[in-house]
Chain A
Amino acid sequence: MAERKTEFRPSGDRSILATYGIEVDPEINEKVRQMTALLADHPHPGILAAVGSYCTLLVHYDPQQMGFAELTGLLLNLEQTLGQAAVPEARTVDIPVCYGGGFGPDIGFVAERNSMSTEEVISRHSSADYRIYAIGFAPGFCYLGGLDPRLHTPRLATPRRKVVAGSVGIAGSQTGVYPLASPGGWQLIGRTPLCLFAPGRQQPLLYGPGDTIHFRPITIEEFQHLHALDNQ
C-alpha cells in the first residue's frame, strides 16, 4: 500500500472527517480501527466520539473547547504512534443466507449487469470470506470488503424507502447485511434468518469490526427453520 497523506475535511461545524485512503484495503481499515482505539485510550475533553468506516474516521468535537487546526494536529500526532494500540482478536462468523427469489429481488439485475447467471452470483458471493470494515447505517449493519470484482454493481439511483430485515445486498464494490428494516440504496440478493442485533442480549451484536463473515447458502425450508429458532 502506498503511503498517502491523511486528509481532513469538516463535516459540518462539529465533526471532522479524516481520510486515510480511498479504496477497500484491509491495511487502511486496520489504521482506522487503530486510530479509533487510540482515541478511546487518549480521551480529550474536546473530543466527544469517534466512528470509523472503510477509510475514514469521523471525530465529533466541541467547537468551544477545540478548533479544527488543533484537532487535526492531535489526530496527526496520534497517527505517529500507531502500532501500540490494543485491538481485540478477530473471529470468523457464519451467516446462513437464502439467495434470490423474493428474498433477493435485485439478483437478476446483478447477474445481468455482470454477464453471469444468478447461480454464479450466488456461488461467487458465498465462496469468499469478508472482513467487516465498519458497522453503521443501522444497528449491526456490517460493511464487508472483499467482494468479487465481477459482482460489483452500482447502488440504486433512488434509495428504497424500506428494505426487509436480514437482507443481503451489493452497492458498488461493497456488500453487506441489513439487520433491521430501513431505507436503503443497495441491490438486494438474499436474506438471512438470524437476528443480528438485539440490544437486550448479553452480546447485542453477533460480530464486531475486524471480524470475518462467511455466507452459507441455505434453502427456503432451512431459512424458515432457523428463523423460527432465532425468534423464540
Chain B
Amino acid sequence: MKNAFRILSPGPCTTVQDLGRFGAYHMGVPVSGVLDDYAGRIANWLVGNSSNCALLEMTMIGAEIEFLTEVDIAITGAAMNPQINGQPCRQWTSIRLQSGDVLHLGAAENGCRTYLAITGGVEVPVVLGSRSTYLGGLLGGLDGRVVVAGDILKRGAGPLLRTPKSLPWYPLYPENICLRAIAGPHNGYFRDHLQHFFKATFEVTADCNRMGVRLAGPTIDRDTTAPESILSEPIVPGNVQMPASGQPIVLMKEQTIGGYTNIATVISSDIWRLGQAKPDDTIRFVQISLEEAHLLYREWAGFLDAAKSFL
C-alpha cells in the first residue's frame, strides 16, 4: 500500500465508495456505495480493477488532487472538464499519471456525480465488509466522513495497465429523467391515485443527497381508507415514499427501514439514473410489471458483462 494522492481541494461532497455494504442491514447499517454503479464499475474496469474496488465519488463540483506515485486513473460520470497540469484530458478513458501531476475537476455540466478510479483501488479499512462511506453512521470510507483538503489516500496493490483502455461510448445524463418503476409495495393505499403519480412530472428539489431525492410536483393523495402511518418496514433503494404531504421522496442508499408508504419502486437497473439527478431536473415514473423488470435486469446485467469484457 503506497501513498497515492493528496487532496488539495475536496469539492462539496467527496466520499470513498465501493459497490456497497451488504449483510449488515440487521444492525441498521444500509448498503451505501456508489449511487451511479454504472459509471462506478466502468471507472474501475478502465484501470484494470475489479468491480468492487473503492474509488472517489464527487458531487456537483469535483476535487483538485496531487498524485504522489505513478498510477493509472479513470474519470467517469458527470462531465467535470478535467485538467491535468492545466491541460484538458478526457473522461471515460484510462490515463497514466506520474508523481507530481495535478488533476483538477470543475463543476458538473450534466448529471451530478463523477467517479475517480485508481490502480488497485482507494485503500481504506474494510468496516463491516465494505469500504463504502456511511456518512449518517459515521463509519467506513475515510473515517466515516467526506474527504477534506490535506487528506492523503493510499492505493491497493495492482499492476499498471499494459495498454490504455477507453470506452467508445458514454451514457448521457439528461435533465428530464424517466425512471421505470414497479407499483408498490404499498400501492394498495393509492388505488384511486396511482395513475396520477405515473402521469405526473416532478421536479428535483434542492433537498437531494445520498439518503434520498425530494421531489416537488402535483400532490398525490392516498385513498381515504389508507392509514395515517404504517408500521416501519425494511426499505430498498428506489422505494418512492409518499408522506402525508403528498410530495414523494425517492430513497437512495443510506437507510434500511422507513415508516412512510411506498407508492412505487424504481427498478434496480435505473438506480444509476437517480444517482445523476440534480436540483431542477424533472423526473417522471413509468410503470412496468415485475416480469418486465426482471427481463430488463437480465438485459442490463448482460450489457454490463459485455462492457467489462470489451474493456
Contact = CB atoms under 8 A, between A and B. Distances in A.
B213 to A, nearest CB: 13
A40 B266 CA distance: 28
Given A11-B185, A12-B239, A54 B136 contact: no
Given A11-B184, A51-B25, A53-B234, A171 B137 contact: no
B184 A9 contact: yes
Contacts of A226: none
A154 B267 contact: no
Nearest to B267: A13
A14 interface: yes
A48 B235 CA distance: 15
B138 interface: yes
B231 A174 contact: yes
Interface residues of A, number: 57
B243 A49 contact: no
Contacts of B262: 11
A52 interface: yes
Interface string B23-44: 1011111000000000000000
B-side interface size class = 35 or more
A14 B268 contact: yes
Contacts of A174: 231-232, 259
B256 A136 contact: yes
A133 B10 CA distance: 41
Nearest to A185: B259
Interface in B196-248: 207, 211, 228-236, 238-239, 243-245
Nearest to A23: B231
Interface stretch (B51-59, B164-172, B293-301): B293-301
A55 B231 CA distance: 8
Given A53-B234, A68-B290, A154 B29 contact: no
B234 A135 contact: no
A13 B239 contact: no
A138 B254 CA distance: 8
A134 B265 contact: no
A137 B236 contact: no
16 contacts: A9-B184, A11-B265, A12-B182, A13-B294, A17-B185, A24-B231, A49-B25, A51-B25, A53-B231, A58-B234, A60-B236, A68-B290, A139-B139, A154-B228, A171-B259, A185-B243
Given A137-B257, A157-B244, 14 more contacts: A11-B185, A11-B239, A13-B267, A13-B293, A13-B294, A13-B297, A15-B236, A24-B231, A52-B234, A134-B257, A141-B257, A179-B28, A181-B136, A209-B26
